[in-house]
Structures are given as structure tokens and as C-alpha cells.
Chains A and B, each alone.
Chain A
């Protein structure tokens, strides 16, 4: 497995090998699926839409509906206006969504299609029925990563739809970042425990974890509704979870609607969840509910009880910046050693933040933004680890080097569970801690000689 990867790291300036990111549009599709009655639309070649639908489906094992402008060579020469206007007619006639969320692709960006102009023209021509909504965002594939695309689409919804009506509600906005439907459900539960009314954007719960009923709901029951997105402009505050995925929309809500925001990490792990809870406590003006405090206590209890299996274990963490930052802090707080930390996405801020987190415990950790899994593998060859923490793509390194992998982040293509059981909050972190501990214990059992194969661990 991966036998051709040499341990000597040579500088590469042009060639990405085994990427740790993909391009923007898939993030825009995922975000748009979290809006009720919304059909994501890909303005580009058919392949983009096919790839994004396929990959999201592989991750969620759920239907993923999206349409495409089906560019041909002609559209690439003459522009994609005709394709998009035809697409609007087809979409509203056949699928009748409440809202269409258009995102661009590298092709339509290079051509320079002006989406707002096409939307207004289509509306003038009556191709967009009265009362139906069309929003858009620009997601050129040659800028940023899938996380940037997610952020752009969330911002697009806010830009088009959120309004301040001159009043302030008691609700808070939760921008959950690129997390699972299960995480969104869990975040809402925690917020509700504080008695805080909230609006979450996007919200893929009850969309990408739909029950089997014998019927397929083209637009599942979940998702943020249009009135809710509008009302986000009247909220009293926004919690932006995950800088890469959420900060842009939070900032826009502040500048355009006057909603102040708090920038937080994804609440994965003890410390990041503590900060999230502190924010909720401040906003709600109440004590932390006993039930939440108990959940925290259980997490602390398990980490403390199982400390011997965690302490000093070297771990390689890779994936999207928001996840990797939270996971690095969590591993550090469990006294694990994150010796290799890598994201495929851009951002010097990522490297600075990770180095900062590890300054005391692993000052010489390998840290890189815009890295790839080929490099991560080379790092591991030079400094082996006890555990891989990241997406399914790490399984090949795991097999090559005989290292267990705990799957977290996007995508997870070869296991189920992530969409049903959260990794955010104290409960989610407990689940993650248990998976980490179990992976290490499984390995210990596997490798133990008969005389040291223990009944009790």
C-alpha cells in the first residue's frame, strides 16, 4: 500500500498528491441542503454536479438532490446565460422548490457569467415564479477549498435574505459550521437547555438523516426556513462556530443587520465546548443547566479514568481547519501528542493557531496549511504515530504504516454513524474520546502476547 511514497521529503511547488481538500462547490451544495425547500444548483458542466452529489451521498448514504446548468462547448464559448435561464424554467416546473441556491464553478467563473444579472433577467421573463426565491454565491474552484464554498453559500443566504426590521428578538443565530446533522441536532439541544430561542443556518438535521418510511421526500422536512433566515437579521447575537466555515456570514450579519457575533471554535473537545457554553451562559443570563454540567463531568471522568491509554500517544490530525483546530486542542488536553497537524485548506492563521495551541506540549510539531496526504504520510514515515485522526482518506496511510484511524470530519465514506451520533458538545466529545480510547485499546489487545492479553483494561 502506497509503496511508492519515499520517506525523504522533497519540496514540491506544482504537484499535489493525495489532496486533503476538494474544491469550493461541494461546500455550497452541502450548505444549501440545510435550507428547507431549497434545491442547490451548479452552474457549470454536468460532471461537477454529478461528482458533488455522488460524494455527499457516499458520506451520508442519503439522497442528495441538486441540479446543473449542463454546460456544453457552446456555453463555454457564448456564456452560460441560456443554460441557467432554461434551468430555472425546468427546475420550477419539475421540482417546485421554494428556493434555488445557485453556485458557480471554475468554468462559469472563467467565462465570467454574471449570475445576479441572469437571475434578474430570468425573473423578468417569468421563469422564476412569483414568490419563489433565487440566491447565489461565487465558488470558483481555483480559490480556497470546499470549506470556503460552504462559507460562501451561508454568506449568500444571509446576503440575499436576512433583514433587520428595526427590532431585536430574543433569539440567537447559530452558524454551526460544516458539521453533521447529528451535531446540529445536538447543538440545538444544548442551546435549548439554556432556554434560548435560536435559528441555525444551515441545518441539515432531518434532511441528511431522513428516516425510511417507504417514500422519498424530494424536499425533506428539515432545513432552515426562509422566514427564519430573514429573521436572523433581527437576532440579538450570532455564535459563529468554526472560523473558516462561519465567520464570513457572522461578519455580514453584523455589518448589514447589526447583529453582534462571537467567534468560537467548533465545540469539539472539553475546552472548546466550555467556551461555547460560556457564551450561551452569557447570552441567556442563566446558570449552566445541571444536566449540561453533568455531561461535562462525565467527559472529564472518562478522560481521567482512561488517561493511561491517552497520555503521550502520538497522533496525526488532518482535515478541515475548523475540525483540526478543535481536535488538536482536545488531544492536547487529553495529554496526547499531536505531532503532525495538517489541512489542505489555505490559511496562515491555521498554522499560527495550531503552533500556539501546541507551544507548550509539542513545540516542534509538523504543522501545515495547504498540505496534502502524501506529505502527511512522509512525515509519519519519519516520525511514526499511534493514531490517525481524520477523514476516510487516511485509511491508506493507516494500512501502509499499520496505524489505527479514528474517523472524524468530512468525508467519511466507509463507515456509518457520523450523521446520527454527534462529535460536538460534551456528549459528542465523550463519544469521540471513547472511539479514540477504544482504537488504542484494540491495538493493545491485538499486539499483546498471550501472557499479557488482559481481561481488564
Chain B
């Protein structure tokens, strides 16, 4: 075994990476790579175009809209208007699970497409789309139908919204469209925003049946990958907190239609769903705050905050009881795993919230996150919402519709008075806030936005982290380099990792990955002898 080179400082690493690029590219990438100072998070460039030719983790607007936010709504038929690939690839690949056997239709295992052919491109595909709606309705009688535009649809001028209106009239169910062509915005992020807008305009508030429960909440930005939402549901249930709708894991259309009657919105994935929280507060008066159910301590903290919001003694007592019960089961596993993993290092490059949330799980077993970054987040996810007013709105963002919401004439009912809000704030209760990733990361760690393949390889080769967290496209590159790679999009087909049971699962999973015997057997004996 050769001796390891002296480890360069993060500053030196950054300079060396930037130097590898030429002129314009170097200048651009330099703004995406920072050495962190949690006290004064520096300004990072985020949510801007990826330079063509750079091998990026990013996907497209359609993936963010249909794939992430809308796809999990289980009793809707989601018809993808376009050539077949877009529907095909978003079919079961994200692992958003939905319960069956509850008498509610579940179309999660189905993929629907207009499979546009050349003649549809030449002569327009609106008639085919309308016919596809009729066929879907005749066969499956879904609660509602969503129509999703792919790249060519915008270019040939098919009006999915007009088709939606016509079909809503004709079929008598809710039908609505999304202009989420893949080329819009700079990543999946644009698609999240478009999905939020569409859901808000077309579904939220459609069912005015009151929610008769003192502690009713919506969980925003939880997509039930690997059963995370099931675990959160279990915990909320134990606490006596009523979940009206999850946006959008394990959810049915009607839950979302009724969600405006909940008393509180809590936000998991800030990046993909903050728009919804803001709009529901403006229109219906539902306050929101950020929670995190990734990590056992984070889960406890989030539950306590919900209890504090409701300010009910019984609820608070119940929540404390649940936390005590559940943590008791977690701590012995945690201590055992930490005895092996403490002091080890992790790197996380994924998504718009997980690269932050999962740092809690690593720190619970004594590991340090030495480098992290998002695939498609914005500055506020790094630096905190305090920077929102100073974010430049560029042309790519301007092209995504921003809804201007006012209070609903009849249904606006502030759950807390301005005085109550202010009083809570005084006690240190953070409303509608998110501090972002950087304030939590240690000084001198690396923060890299929209990491390129080149940067990823360099980072791993230089620092040899004990584990790297990313997605499927990176997974086997990292593994080939002899470093275990945990997929934080698909969870490597495991999970849940949310809540208390999830935390235990994750500790054990990381323990397994870092400890795996085969990693020590990569070099054949004859190569060791000759060295």
C-alpha cells in the first residue's frame, strides 16, 4: 500500500478544481464551490444553468413535476403527453410507495402515455391527448386526471390546458394540465414549482368538508420513498396528531383537495414544496414551519415543535411519551453502531434537502459530513431563507410562473393571530423559516452546488470519505473507486430511513456498508506481495 499524499486544505482543493477548467467555465464553477463558515455563510451560486457538456447529476423540469411531486398521488391517472420515453422512465423508478387494500384506486404501478408519433408532431397531438383521456376514464374511472407536457409539446404548440378544460367538462371529473416541458428552468426544481402551482390552482380547496380534529396537519414535501411516509404516519398516529394530506407520498386526491382545512402545514423538503406552504398561508391562513423527520433526534425535535404549536398539555404529554418510548428502542442500536462509526466521514451530494437532512443521521452516530451540496437547490437551501430578498431572478426563473395569492374571500381563517405569531417568535419559535445547510455544517467543510462528475471523482480521490451519498448515476463510479455509495434518491431499494424506525435502519445500513468485508479484499494477494 502506498502512503497517502498529504491531504490538501479545502481551499487548496477548491483552487485546484477550478484551475482544471478553462476561462469561462472556471469562472462559473468557482462560484459554486465554497469552503464553509457556518457563522457567516458565504454567497453560493445555485439554481443556474449547467454548462453544456458538463456531466451533471441533474434531470429536467418534467421529472420534477410529474416524477417527483405529482406522480405519487395514487388515485389519479397521470397521462404523459409526449414520446414514450418520458412516461417510461418515470414509471416506478422513484420508489414512491402508496398503500393498497384501502379501497382506494392505486395507479402507482401503471404508466400512461400518448406515445406521440411523427404524425402527432406534424399535425398536433391535442386530439390524441383528448382521446387518451377518454380511454383512461372509460377503462379506469380515476378520481382525476393530470396531463403532463414533455419537450416537443411546447414546441408544436399543443394546448394541454385547453384539452384539460374540455375533458373536465366532458368526463365530469377534474382534469388539469401542466406545462412542465423538460427544457424549462435549469433542473427538476422548475418542475416542482410548476407542480405546486398546478396542485394549488386545481386541487387544494376543492373539497370543503371540514376536518374535525383538534390537531390536524399537512405534511409537505414527503414523497414516501421506501416507506418514509408510512413511518411518519405511524409516529403521528401514536401522538394523536391527525394527518390530513401528505404532499404527496401515500396520498389520494381527496386528501389534498381537503388539505386547506388543516390547522398547520409542516415542511419536510423545503426545496420542492415551499411554494405550496407560502400559498396556503396567504390564501387560507395556515401557518407553516420547517420540520425534519430524518434522524431520531430531529424527529423528536420536530414532534415537540408541532406539540408546542398546538399548545395542548395532553398532546405535549403524549408526544413526550412517544418520544421516550421510541428513543429507548433507538439508543442501544445507535450506541453500538457509533462505537464503530464515530469519527468517520461522509459526503452528501443529492437533491434539494436530503444532502442536509441526512447529516443529522450521520452526526447521531458520530460521523462528520465533510462535503455536501445539492443537485437542484436554490441559495436559500444553502444559506437560509434570510437571503431570499437578495436572490437574483434570472431569465430561466422568470419563465416559471409565480402565482400571486391573496386571501380567500370566504375561507381565509388565520389559525394564529398576528399577536400569537409574534409572541411565539419572541419565545424563539421559528415560523416559515429555514436556516439552510451551511449554518449546520462545520467550518472548513466543502460546499459544492450542482457538482460535476469531474469534481466528484476528484473529491473522492483526494479525501477518500468513508461513505459517499448520491444517486444511481454516481453509485457504481464511487463503488468502483472502493468507496461505499449510498443512494439517497432510491435508498438502494431499502428504507424507510425517516422517523425512529428509519433512523435505526439507517445506522445499521451505514454500519453494514462501511464495514463490508469485501471492500478489504479488492486487491488480489499477488498484487499485495509485489508492492
Contacts and interface: CB of A to CB of B under 8 A. Distances in A.
A144 to B, nearest CB: 10
A50 B139 contact: no
B469 interface: no
Contact of A72 (B83, B121, B183): B183
Nearest to A94: B454
A58 B91 CA distance: 14
Contacts of A374: 110
B477 A54 contact: no
Interface in B99-115: 100, 105-107, 109-115
A217 B481 CA distance: 9
Interface in A54-90: 54-55, 57-58, 61-76, 83-84, 86-90
Contacts of B351: none
Given A15-B132, A63-B476, A51 B59 contact: yes
B85 A26 contact: yes
B367 interface: no
Given A48-B182, A70-B51, A19 B454 contact: no
Given A19-B113, A214-B481, A54 B93 contact: yes
A45 B51 contact: no
Interface string A3-28: 11010001011111111011101100
Nearest to B105: A4
- Kindly name the residue among B51, B82, B457, B473 whose own CB sees the greatest number of chain A CB atoms within 10 A: B473
A249 interface: no
B472 A58 contact: yes
Report the 9 A-B pairs with minimum CB-CB distance, sorted nearest first: A47-B60, A90-B53, A23-B85, A87-B53, A141-B83, A14-B131, A45-B182, A51-B89, A107-B151
Nearest to A87: B53
A110 interface: yes
Nearest to B20: A94
B109 A54 contact: no
Interface in B476-531: 476-482, 522-523
Nearest to B121: A142
Contact of B135 (A12, A18, A143): A12
Contact of B58 (A50, A74, A141): A50
- Kindly name the residue among A105, A107, A396 whose own CB sees the greatest number of chain B CB atoms within 10 A: A107
Contacts of A91: 53
Contacts of B118: 140, 142-143
Interface in B355-395: 395
A17 B129 CA distance: 13
A111 interface: yes
B319 interface: no
Contacts of A83: 52
A212 B479 contact: yes
A214 B523 contact: yes
Contacts of A396: 109
27 contacts: A1-B109, A14-B128, A18-B111, A23-B83, A25-B85, A44-B151, A45-B151, A54-B471, A55-B89, A66-B55, A67-B53, A67-B54, A68-B52, A68-B53, A70-B51, A70-B53, A70-B58, A72-B49, A72-B186, A90-B51, A91-B53, A93-B22, A110-B152, A110-B156, A141-B84, A214-B522, A216-B477
A140 B156 CA distance: 14
A15 B140 CA distance: 12
B112 A16 contact: yes
A23 B522 CA distance: 38
A21 B84 contact: yes
A18 B187 CA distance: 26
B184 interface: yes
A62 B131 CA distance: 41
B134 to A, nearest CB: 8
B132 A75 contact: no
Nearest to A11: B135
Contacts of A88: 53
Contact of B480 (A25, A41, A216): A216
B52 A47 contact: no
A89 B53 CA distance: 8
Contacts of B156: 110
Contacts of A18: 91, 110-111
B473 A210 contact: no
B156 to A, nearest CB: 7
Given A4-B139, A68-B56, A71-B151, 11 more contacts: A10-B135, A10-B138, A14-B135, A45-B61, A46-B187, A72-B396, A88-B53, A106-B152, A110-B121, A142-B120, A214-B523
B152 to A, nearest CB: 5
A2 interface: yes
B282 interface: no
A147 B342 CA distance: 49
A382 B89 CA distance: 29
B306 interface: no
A67 B128 CA distance: 33
A48 B480 contact: no
Contacts of A143: 117-118
Contact of A22 (B63, B85, B475): B85
A217 to B, nearest CB: 8
B89 A54 contact: yes
Contacts of A65: 55, 453
A13 B115 CA distance: 10
B396 A107 contact: no
B51 A86 contact: yes
B468 interface: no
Contacts of A89: 22, 53
Nearest to A89: B53
Contacts of A216: 457, 477-478, 480-481
A101 to B, nearest CB: 14
A53 interface: yes
B89 A61 contact: no
B83 A210 contact: no
A54 B474 CA distance: 9
A44 B155 CA distance: 13
B155 A90 contact: no
Nearest to B473: A53
A68 B187 CA distance: 13
B83 A142 contact: yes
B218 interface: no
A27 B70 CA distance: 28
A1 B181 CA distance: 31
A14 B126 CA distance: 11
B183 A107 contact: yes
Nearest to B62: A47
A117 interface: no
Interface in B147-191: 150-152, 154-156, 181-187
A15 B454 contact: no
Contact of A62 (B58, B140, B476): B476
Nearest to B51: A90
A61 B490 CA distance: 14
Nearest to B93: A54
A51 to B, nearest CB: 4
Contacts of A22: 84-85, 88-89
Nearest to B55: A67
B395 A74 contact: yes
- Kindly name the residue among B20, B52, B84 whose own CB sees the greatest number of chain A CB atoms within 10 A: B52
